[in-house]
Amino acid sequence: MWGSLTLDSDLKTAIASQMLNLRSRSIWHLVDSVTTAISQSYGMARARALTNPMVAVRMRAQRDHLYSEAALLDRELEIFRSQRMSKLPRQRPHFSREERAKIMQLAVLRQWSAAYAAKRFGLHKNTIHSWRKTLCNKRRASDLLGSPPWNRLHESVRHTVQEIRKLCPECDFGTQSIARHLVRAGIQISRASV
């Protein structure tokens, strides 16, 4: 008797879970259809409002369009963020130096705390804190942001420095002095690149 009851309850559970799957799938299609219909009708109403002769109505339509675009972009970013956060921290892709600089600049411009900036970019808040400390230390800032490629000059610049050196053979006006004058003129150069 107990065995048949267990079998019946297992069967009922299996049937109920199957019905739930069918029901949830049909509910998903229903919700998707209703959402699509509402979105399309709202888009048509917004399109009509954009062609309205009244300026206030057109501005509200533009504002609504921007709000909806921002909401969709936020959903898209949330998908990317959740995909990044689903990986182990060691398996997540690293940010390049340029991306780190952009993240720090964005955090300052939007006045984000370290915890909120870390949440937005899928990092740990201690990472943002260490980046901020590195930026405050002038000697280590190039580790975070990268240094300019001082030894990769255009050939015409190197040729110009060599020609200036040939024109000024005095010992006190060497490559270092030429480099200083070029830095004052706005060209990044060093003695090793000459």
Q: Which long-range contacts (CB under 8 A, 24 or more apart) does 82-89 make?
A: 84/122, 85/122, 89/124
194 residues of the chain, pLDDT tens digit each: 444 444 455 655 665 555 555 566 677 677 778 878 888 888 888 888 889 899 999 999 999 889 888 988 888 888 888 878 788 877 777 888 778 888 888 888 888 899 998 888 888 899 899 888 887 776 666 666 665 555 554 555 566 777 777 776 666 666 667 766 766 666 555 445 55
67 φ, ψ (degrees, to nearest 5): -65, -45
Instruction: List the chain domain ranges.
Output: 2-85, 95-145, 155-193
72-102: buried (b, 16+ CB within 10 Å) or exposed (e) per residue? eeeeeeeeeeeeeeeeeeeeeeebeeeebbe
Distance CA 167, CA 174 (A): 11
Q: In a 3-state reduction of DSSP, which class is residue 121? A: helix
